[in-house]
């Protein structure tokens, strides 16, 4: 159907940029983002997400196939549009489709007969055809599956992971009819060495993606609950998991904070759709509630340890190591470390937050808190919470940062047992 492919990737974040770069190595590709500053940074070889290094970015930008733009007119000659915008939730954990709707309006305004629109954003089953396609039809004046077509291929990017990159991860694909499904599958197969799996429908592909993260969320919630139980019993959770992990079919999940733009969000999308059709999901929401409470739990347990050691909590100096949602990654979206911080604030503590990976301006804008890249000199702390397992923190001499009477709480379980007072 489409012989000379010209691809537009809408949204150049953690998902869109690596995908656009891969397509840009082989096809005429326009990477589009409404953030002018982001586009200018990319033109200068700067990727603040750290997913693509400068050499790779410059190399692809100079090959004659790939370009980046914030000008909608540069999309007009494209015939395949791939939408990779975020799908967050609002303050009440309800799906927020605004970025997806705006992106669909942008694509619809340049859509032509024969074009294909592929969505990668994580959604609940039905969003592509029930929410996005009507916007494409209304904006373009074209008819779905007659004048233009759609596909869905959920993203599986793991931010900060340099091993499981976009070209190496097996990709689920789908199309709005059997012919389009083959075209979409062939398109991704042409850049992905990890292979593809052609789902039977767009809704099946949407559902497959949203349960991937929901499954992980539930499993982590289970070990988080185990951690709470074993702490009360005076048993080390990590030692229990190591012992249980010797069985061949034991699932090796670890306790911790569950944030970010995927695992901490996607279960709410599935729950929302379930409730719309009259089913109240119990396990999914129970897992979410438990995981959403882990930040407060960490802070409360640290306070208890301080009180037990006779440390005055009000006015105490507490160091929090890490603010990003995961280790060795600059992404601060939906980080659950903020829940630790907010709980400590209720006890009138003095907080120092250090993260060598986070962008301080972004943290200030998102959460209205100040962070530092490096540790303050000649300062000692009443308590330290190792919240994120950045590689830099493993090298710290934790004991040299502590007052004579102090507490260390290790959220990530990476410090030696004799160095900590508490951990998940």
Q: Is 150 helix (H, G, I), strand (E, B) or coil?
A: strand
Going by C-alpha positions, the residue among 125, 122, 129, 126 that lies closest to residue 265 is 122
Neighbour tally for 154: CB within 10 Å: 23
Report whether 268 contacts 93 (CB < 8 A): yes
How far is it, in rounded angstroms, from Cα 400 to Cα 131? 56
List the structure tokens of 101.
Answer: 């709707």
Relative orientation angle of helices 54-61 and 36-43, to the nearest 10 degrees: 90
CA 111 to chain centre: 29
φ/ψ of 91, rounded to 5, equals -65, -20
Relative orientation angle of helices 16-24 and 54-61, to the nearest 10 degrees: 50
Give the residue carrying structure tokens 């996607």: 266
The residues that are catalytic are 262
How far is it, in rounded angstroms, from Cα 167 to Cα 189? 9
How far is it, in rounded angstroms, from Cα 292 to Cα 221? 9
Report whether 409 contacts 209 (CB < 8 A): no
What is residue 375's DSSP assignment? P
How far is it, in rounded angstroms, from Cα 82 to Cα 118? 5
């Amino acid at each position: 159907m489409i012989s000379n492919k010209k691809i537009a990737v809408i949204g150049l974040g953690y998902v869109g940029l690596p995908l656009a770069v891969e397509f840009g190595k082989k096809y005429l590709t326009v990477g589009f983002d409404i953030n002018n500053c982001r586009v200018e940074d990319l033109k200068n070889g700067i990727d603040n997400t750290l997913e693509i290094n400068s050499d790779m970015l410059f190399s692809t930008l100079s090959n004659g196939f790939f370009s980046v733009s914030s000008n909608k007119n540069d999309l007009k000659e494209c015939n395949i549009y791939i939408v990779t915008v975020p799908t967050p939730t609002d303050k009440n954990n309800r799906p927020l489709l605004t970025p997806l709707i705006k992106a669909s309006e942008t694509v619809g305004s340049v859509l032509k007969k024969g074009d294909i629109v592929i969505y990668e954003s994580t959604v609940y089953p039905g969003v592509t055809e029930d929410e996005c396609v009507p916007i494409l039809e209304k904006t373009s004046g074209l008819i779905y599956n007659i004048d233009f077509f759609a596909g869905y291929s959920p993203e599986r990017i793991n931010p900060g992971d340099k091993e499981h990159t976009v070209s190496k991860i097996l990709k689920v694909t789908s199309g709005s009819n059997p012919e389009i499904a083959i075209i979409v599958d062939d398109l991704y197969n042409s850049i992905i060495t990890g292979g593809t799996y052609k789902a039977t429908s767009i809704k099946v592909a949407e559902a497959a993606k949203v349960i991937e993260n929901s499954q992980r969320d539930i499993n982590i919630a289970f070990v988080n609950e185990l951690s709470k139980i074993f702490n009360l019993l005076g048993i080390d959770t990590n030692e229990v998991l190591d012992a249980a992990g010797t069985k061949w079919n034991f699932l090796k999940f670890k306790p911790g904070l569950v944030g970010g733009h995927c695992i901490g969000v996607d279960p709410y999308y599935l729950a929302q759709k379930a409730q719309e059709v009259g089913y109240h999901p119990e396990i999914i929401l129970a897992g979410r509630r438990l995981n959403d409470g882990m930040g407060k739990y960490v802070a409360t347990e640290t306070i208890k340890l301080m009180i037990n050691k006779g440390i005055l909590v009000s006015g105490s100096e507490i160091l929090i190591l890490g603010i990003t949602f995961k280790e060795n990654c600059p992404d601060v979206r939906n980080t659950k470390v903020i829940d630790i911080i907010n709980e400590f604030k209720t006890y009138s503590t003095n907080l120092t937050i250090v993260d060598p990976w986070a962008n301080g301006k972004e943290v200030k804008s998102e959460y209205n808190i100040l962070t530092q890249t490096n540790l303050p000199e000649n300062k000692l702390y009443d308590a330290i919470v190792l919240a994120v397992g950045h590689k830099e923190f493993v090298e710290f001499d934790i004991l040299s940062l502590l007052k004579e009477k102090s507490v260390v709480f290790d959220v990530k379980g990476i410090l030696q047992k004799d160095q900590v007072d508490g951990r998940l």
